[in-house]
């Protein structure tokens, strides 16, 4: 399964992610890493997963990213 592109995510998911980006004070450098990673259309599992990007963790389920966590917060699912 491939991660969904930003433009194809449901509006509510995009809005939530943008809000979390602001809340978590995610660095521009780490957001660029996220962008490059998503543009590479990586494979993701069908269930819960997460990927660490330095100043945050991206958590998702199946093809959709769901939220951002701070580095010390515990993520559930398969580590990518």
Q: Is residue 15 part of a domain?
A: yes
Task: Give the structural domain span for 36.
Answer: 6-79
Note whether residue 26 is domain-resident: yes
pLDDT in tens, 59-69: 999 999 999 99
Contact between residue 14 and residue 65 where contact means Cβ atoms under 8 Å apart: no
Q: What's residue 25's pLDDT?
A: 80
The pair of structure tokens assigned to 20 is 């979390």
Say yes or no to pLDDT of 55 above 90. Answer: no
CB atoms within 10 A of CB 26: 19
48 found inside a domain = yes
Residue 51 pLDDT exceeds 90:
yes
β-pair partners for 9: none
Higher per-residue confidence, 63 vs 26: 63
Residue 26, pLDDT > 90, answer no
Q: How many domains does the chain have?
A: 1
Q: Structure pTM?
A: 0.85
Does residue 40 belong to any structural domain of this protein? yes
Residue 1 inside a domain? The answer is no
């Amino acid at each position: 399964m491939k991660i969904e592109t930003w433009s194809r995510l449901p509006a509510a998911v995009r809005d939530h992610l943008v809000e979390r980006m602001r809340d978590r004070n995610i660095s521009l450098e780490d957001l660029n890493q996220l962008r490059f990673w998503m543009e590479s259309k990586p494979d993701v599992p069908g269930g819960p997963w997460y990927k660490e990007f330095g100043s945050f963790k991206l958590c998702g389920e199946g093809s959709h990213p769901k939220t951002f966590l701070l580095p010390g917060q515990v993520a559930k699912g398969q580590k990518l």
